[in-house]
Amino acid sequence: MIESVASPRAIIVRGAGIASAESSKLQIADVAVEDGVITRLGEDIGDCEGAIELDGRGKVLLPGLFDMHVYSREPGEEWKETIQSGTEAAINGGITGVVTMPNTVPAVDNGGMVQSVLEIAGRSSRIPLFAAGCITKDRGGRDLAAIADMREKGAVLITDGGVPVSNALVLRRAMEYARDFDLLVGSHCETMELSGKGAMNEGAVSFRLGIPGMPACGEEICLARDLRLAQFTGARVHLQHVSTARGLNTIRRYKNEGVKVSCAVTPHHLIFNEADVGDYNTHFKMSPPLRTEEDNARLIEGLKEGVFDVIATDHAPHANFEKAQDFASAPFGITGLETALVSLYHYFVRKEVFGWDVIVKHYSAGPRSLLKLPPAEIREGAAANFVLFDPDKTTTFTRDSMKSMSSNTPFLNCELNGSVEHVVLNDRLLK
């Protein structure tokens, strides 16, 4: 493997299949990067003195991915993850930009905290990191956070992370403020009175296992409320990690009515369902919980149809001792930055359930567009920002191979088809 190079003179990728959001077909071409810019793209583009050459034959070159739902754990819980370890995990998975959630200690609920997170990232991250701020102070759901101050300091969206804003009036006021600042509002949809002490999807499997359940209607009721508030206020609202078919149908209807709503789906809600919890494996415990096999199928349809705007991991690192508790006591959440692209290839692209265009559209272009950031494009004149993926290799996710400080993933010690070989960002070969 080529080591990370700070500023090579040039990088040439030979004969790769270039993926785009516009077509499921790959364009075979060479790509030359000089001084961080793609200067030539085509067949037999020639040589460049002193260039690092990457063999792209039989491989896929796709724009750098962007994950807009990541928990960095810094400041406050650095024993789970730091901004440095989290962004290195992102690079390992082919991700060249992230948005970190405000669930830190203290919470990111004011401009000073936004600035602090961005300063840490400036010192320790090799990829762009953007900060989300809280909707309410300390994520308490009662008093609005310093929305204007956070926006001024660089927050790209507001959300209370893994908890809903249960007070509808407070959420309405937040949406009105956010609308005036053209700030995206991220919503975790959950009716806490219904989910209670639940630990997995409520249904036949939870009853059989004796695990308290979280009914799908608890997510769907909150989702419908937030959509109606978005319609009323005119705010831009983003529904995070949608997990049910009924919820997706509701989103489709509001989108057709012109409401400014976007939504995300996680790889784990596409791949796994409640049956995977079978042996009380806490790596399958997340919020919202894994739903039914039927929900899997409908979510995949929604992604292919374009109802979903974004794929995001909801990367939530936890220490081994936390996940080693009994299922009801263990924390919600799994890691995903390093496994997302490989797992999406293994389960879907390889089996022709959907093509590379779906991944580029929803895991690169979509989130950047929502946040009004420049796109990652593989074309002449664009800044270099791409991933070289080898579909013929395999990846085994082990504690030693992963860059995240936490390994709470169902894919631990599993071998999947596909491998993230190289990551190029501007004039740097990051991997």
| Residue 399: inside a domain | yes
In a domain, 3, yes or no: no
- In degrees and rounded to multiples of 5, residue 418 shows phi and psi of 105, 150
Do 50 and 85 reside in the same domain of the chain?
no
Q: Mark whether 160 and 254 lie in a shared domain.
A: yes
Q: How many whole angstroms separate alpha carbon 391 and alpha carbon 119?
A: 37
Indicate the residue among 350, 370, 390 that finishes a domain. Answer: 370
- Bridge partners (DSSP) of residue 419 are 390
State whether 282 and 299 are in the same domain.
yes
Q: Which residues of 335-372 are buried (b: 16+ CB within 10 A; e: fewer)?
A: bbbbbbbbbbbbbbbeeeebbbbbbbbbbbbbbbbbbe
CATH number of the domain encompassing residue 394: 2.30.40.10
102: left (phi over 0), alpha (psi -120 to 50) or beta: alpha
pLDDT in tens, 333-364: 999 999 999 999 999 999 999 999 999 999 99
331 within domain boundaries: yes
351, 370, 389 — which closes off a domain? 370
Is position 305 within any domain? yes
Q: How confident is the model at residue 382 (pLDDT cuts 50, 70, 90)?
A: very high
What percent of the chain is helix, strand and coil (3-state, nearest 5)? Answer: 35, 25, 45
pLDDT confidence band for 5 (50 / 70 / 90): very low
Predicted local distance difference test score (pLDDT) of residue 7 = 55
CA-CA distances (angstroms) from residue 97 to 74, 232, 314, 315, 383? Answer: 17, 32, 14, 13, 14
Strand runs labelled E in 315-400: 385-396
What is the span of the domain harbouring residue 422? Answer: 10-61+380-429
**Residue 286 maps to a domain:** yes
- CB of 392 closer than 8 Å to CB of 361: no
Same domain, 352 and 339: yes
Q: Is residue 299 part of a domain?
A: yes
Is residue 2 pLDDT above 50, yes or no? no
| CATH at residue 199 | 3.20.20.140
Residue 89 inside a domain? The answer is yes
The span from the CA of 338 to the CA of 356, in Å, is: 18
Verify that 32 and 179 share a domain, yes or no.
Answer: no
> Are residues 249 and 149 both part of a single domain?
yes
What does the longest C-alpha to C-alpha distance in the chain come to?
66
Please tell me whether residues 79 and 38 are part of one structural domain. Answer: no
Residue 24: CA count within 13 A, CB half-sphere: 8
Same domain, 336 and 398: no
Asked if residue 103 is part of any domain, the answer here is yes
pLDDT at 45: 84
* Number of domains within the chain: 2
Q: Do 123 and 211 sit in the same domain of this protein?
A: yes
Looking at residue 138, its amino acid is D
Of the three residues 347, 370, 393, the one that is the final residue of a domain is 370
Report the b/e string of 144-168 with b at 16+ CB within 10 A: bbbbebbbebebbbbbbbbbbbbee
pTM over 0.75: yes
**Helix H or strand E encompassing 97:** strand 95-100
pLDDT for residue 9: 73
Q: How far apart are CA 133 and CA 151, in angstroms?
A: 8
**What is the distance between the alpha carbons of residues 22 and 427, in angstroms, rounded to a whole number?**
26
The DSSP line for 388-413 is EEEEEEEEE--TTT--SS----TTTT
| Same domain flag for 423 and 325 | no
29 vs 94, 202, 282, 293, 379, CA distance in Å? 20, 50, 44, 39, 11
Q: Are residues 51 and 71 in the same domain?
A: no
The one catalytic residue in 109, 226, 309, 314 is 314
pLDDT at 290: 98
The answer to whether residue 314 is catalytic is: yes
Q: Are residues 249 and 143 in the same domain?
A: yes
Residues 113-166: pLDDT tens digits?
999 999 999 999 999 999 999 999 999 999 999 999 999 999 999 999 999 999
Percent of the chain at pLDDT exceeding 90: 95
Dist. CA 244–CA 412, nearest whole Å: 26
Nearest to 85 by CA among 120, 124, 130, 128: 124
Instruction: Give the pLDDT of residue 44.
Output: 81
